[in-house]
Structures are given as C-alpha cells and as structure tokens.
Amino acid sequence: MISSLQKARYDYAPKLPDSLCSSIQDISLEFGSPTESISDREEIRDIFKNTYGKPLVTFAKGNEKNEKIQRELKVGVILSGGQAPGGHNVIAGLFDGLKKGNPNSTLLGFKGGPSGLTGNKTINITKEFLDEYRNTGGFDIIGSGRTKIETPEQFAASLETVKKLNLDAVVVIGGDDSNTNAALLAEYFIANGSNAQVIGCPKTIDGDLKNEHIETSFGFDTACKTYSELIGNLCRDTNSAKKYWHFIKLMGRSASHIALECALQTQPNVCLISEEIEAKAMSLEQIVDLICESIIKRAKNSDNFGVVLIPEGLVEFIPEIKKLINELNDVIAAEEKSFAAVTNFTDQLNWLSSRLSECSYGIMKSLPPDIAQQFLMDRDPHGNVQVSRIETEKLLLGMVEKKLNNGKFSALTHFFGYEGRCAFPSNFDADYCYSLGFSAFVLIASGLTGYLSSVKNLTFPAAGWIAGGVPLTMMMNLEQRHGSKKPVIKKALVELDGKPFKTFAEKRSIWAEKTCFLYPGAIQYYGPSEVCDSPTKTLILEKE
C-alpha cells in the first residue's frame, strides 16, 4: 500500500527549461571563454592538466541538427553523501534524457554510493523500476555512501569498473567534496587513456555549493521549508502556552544558509549566523550574552518564551573554539593510532595536555565533560570533527541558565536535521532536479567531461530557466585536509554584505524583543504557482 500523496506525486510531470523541451536534435551548445579556478591557479592547473580551463556551456535551441546527441550511451550514476530531497528526480531526468536521445541507451545505478563504483556493484535502472521513485524523497532507489575515492587503488578500481561495464560516462550526484571527487575522476580517466566522461550534479541541503552559475544546490528549498514548518509550529505552540524558550539547532555542516533562510521564513527572537560571529570575533561568552539580552527584554514584557535558531556548524566559527578544533583535527590526524589507543576520557585529556596549546587545552578542560567528549568522537571521512554530534544547543542553554539564574526561565532543546533530508521534494526541487538530470545527459551526449550540471535564472518560471554546465575546476581552491593541502570545491558561506543577511539584520532587533513569529505551514504541491512553485526567500532576495 502507498499513501495517496505518494501515488499523486508519481504522476507529477516536472517542468523543464524551454531549451530542453524542444526536439532533442535541436539542442545546441554555446561555449564561453576559458575559465580559471577561484584561487591557487598554478597548483590547480598542475593537478588537473587535462581538464583545467574548460569554458562555461549554455544550452540553446540550435539552427543545425545535433546528430551526436542521439548516439547510444551507457551511463552509471552515483548518489554520494547525505540525502537531499530531489535526488530521485535527478536520476529520472538523466534516464528520460538518455531514452529520449536513444531508446537503446542504458542507465546503471551504483549501489551504496562511491563504493559501488570501486566495487562494481550495480543495478539496471528500468522505467518500471524508476517510476516508483519519481518525485519522492530519499536516496533509497540505489542508496548512498560517504566513501571518498582518494587512494591509487580506489582510482584504479574505479577505472577497472568503467572498463568492465563499457561505460561512456559516470554521473556523481553530491556536494562539494563529492564533486571534487568527480573532478579528480574525470582527470584520472583521461590521464589513463579512458574516454569515459564524468559529470557532477550540485546536491546539498546545506546550500553551500553555489556561485553565480550554480544559484542553489538541490534539496535546500525543501529542507528549509520542512524545518520552517516545524519551527513555525514551535513558535505557535510557545506563543499559545506563553512558556518555554526553544533552542533549535539546524543542520548545516559549515555555512549558516539554512538558519538564515529559516529565520527569514519564521522570524524567531534570536538567530545566530556563524559567519557574522567569526567576522566579529565573538567569544562564546558574548554569544551567551546576546541570547540573554533578548530573554531579559522579553521578560520585562512578561513574555517568558521565545525561539533561538543555532546553525549546526557554529562551534567552528567561534574563534577560540575554531582554534581548538583545528588543533584537535591536526593532532589526531598526525597521531591517529596513538590517540585511538586511549579510550578513557580522563586519559584522553592527559594525552592532549602536551599536544594542544595552553589556550586550547584550557578551553577543552572548561567545557562540560559530556560536550568535551563530543569534540573527540570519530572524525568524518575528511578528517574533520563531526559537528552534528556536538550538542551546541545544550551547551548554549546550559550557559544561559547559569548566567540568568532565573527561576522564570525554562527551555527545551531540539535538533532539526534528518527530518528534512528525505522529505517529499517541493515542486521547485522536483523541477530543478529533473532539469539538472536532463542537463547532465546533454553534457554527456555532447562529449563533455569534468563539468557540473547547471540550471540558473531560478526565480523565473521553469520555462525561462537557463541550463548548461560549469567546469568543476573553476570552483576549486586548495585547503588543508588530513594535514596537507588538497584541491577542493570551495564552500559558499553566507555573505554578510548580501541582501538576504542584510534583510535579516535590519529586522532582528525588533524580533528579539517583540513576538513577530510567522507560521509558514506545510509545503504545498497543488494550487497557485506563486504558492506551490516559489523558491526560497534567500534566492528571491539574491536576485532582486
């Protein structure tokens, strides 16, 4: 049995840009000028000798027939990293494009993420199989994984799989790290004599994979609308009961895009923006003072309730905590086996005493033991502390309670993260993802490699969207990973001089004192286009 909504969503027909709606032979490619990486150009060029400097690509309706686009293709697709609403529609758009180009084309899904490529674990994606996943959330069609392809053996195994399956291309659906992997694979294949192409698609609910050509990453729209519904529900509840402060941590590994968007949608009393805290070099104590200031102001009006939004990655932007985390990452990476042998927390602190700076060690000892231990948990595949496991909301609440020492203050903590990653995609994400998948097909059929599928002009109706491709190397810089400099796609953080943040900053002093909550409600799939198809407030403000 399936739900009535699920059944109805199967029948939803995603909208495409006009350039992709014409006869498949009429799609032409317009090339821009050669591109450069955003920084570290000589080093990036040296790493990507065969794929650096490619031009931007835009699709258009052509005057000459594009016969090449109708060739039979065999393509493999990977879902990489955390789930994001719309992933199934990327695969649907890719599949439909392949079949429209040539009914004999084949799409294979690599099971379980990048490890499916290195281990040659595939499933044949047919229309009947795919139709059960169209316009639905989740990555369960083929599963995902966080394996990072980085060793010589993993690259060699990937190439061996491509050769055995006789693939023309591999599509990597993922975030900045996953698409960095896609760029490295594209380079490796060429350097080792393979004609297999690699194309990426921009996925992450965090919203930090974007630039002037990638206006948003897919899943961000749906996740923010899902979280905003939940936040709005809590706003309504606390405004009804007139009690409880809700400290809500929101997913977002590094950037505060989700917190900012949810603040614009719900108007909480306090919303912390990590990038601003770093720019102002605010200490942990100053952040606590900021929250207490709102609590005290509202208490004077007998409003002993409120809502605080906290970005997941906040701790990495507080200067003294960021220094501590960087030292921990470097020390643990350099002496991984030695640290792993120490399992008792007291012994771990002793182990760190001679390896951390005096300042960082002092902060480590000052943290509540249960919070301090969370800084020492297993690192993610990239060697970084897993900030989602650090209960920042509980740390701040405990410090606020201690500072206020007020019996009238009562609070609850929440973490909204997984609730939004597999939601039914909004119409915007359903359309956007389908267009990204279809665009990936056009890039493959046109013989390109090392590109990220791109769809922009997203505040317009879908017919006016502009599809094309962005060279992956164009978005790269060098960053410290596992103790050495490595090429990665640079994360896009909240711009403090951008209109979304400025709009928020203009209003937050009023929200801090007054009850100005908004209640956005559930995602709407049917009704007026301005309700059902609207993008995020962030995107609208950025394009004004």
Catalytic residues: 206
Q: Which of 424, 428, 426 is nearest to 462 (CA)?
A: 428
Q: Which residue has the tokens 């294949």?
A: 189
d(CA 258, CA 220): 8
Compute φ and ψ for 305, nearest 5 degrees. Answer: -155, 165
Alpha helices in 242-376 (DSSP H): 257-266, 274-279, 284-300, 319-334, 336-340, 345-353, 358-366, 369-374
Tokens of 105: 């084309």
Structure tokens at 137: 């959330």
Per-position b or e across 289-322, b if 16+ CB within 10 A of its CB: eebbebbebbbeeebbbbbbbbbbbbbbbbeebe
Is residue 481 within a helix (H) or strand (E), and if so which, with residue range? strand 476-481
d(CA 342, CA 348): 6
What is the C-alpha separation between 397 and 383, in angstroms, rounded?
28
> What separation in angstroms does the CA of 337 have from each of 197, 340, 347?
38, 5, 15
| SS3 label, residue 327 | helix
**CA 287-289-295 angle, 5° bins:** 110
> What is the rounded distance in angstroms from the CA atom of residue 97 to the CA atom of residue 90?
11
> Whole-angstrom Cα distance, residue 215 to residue 455?
8
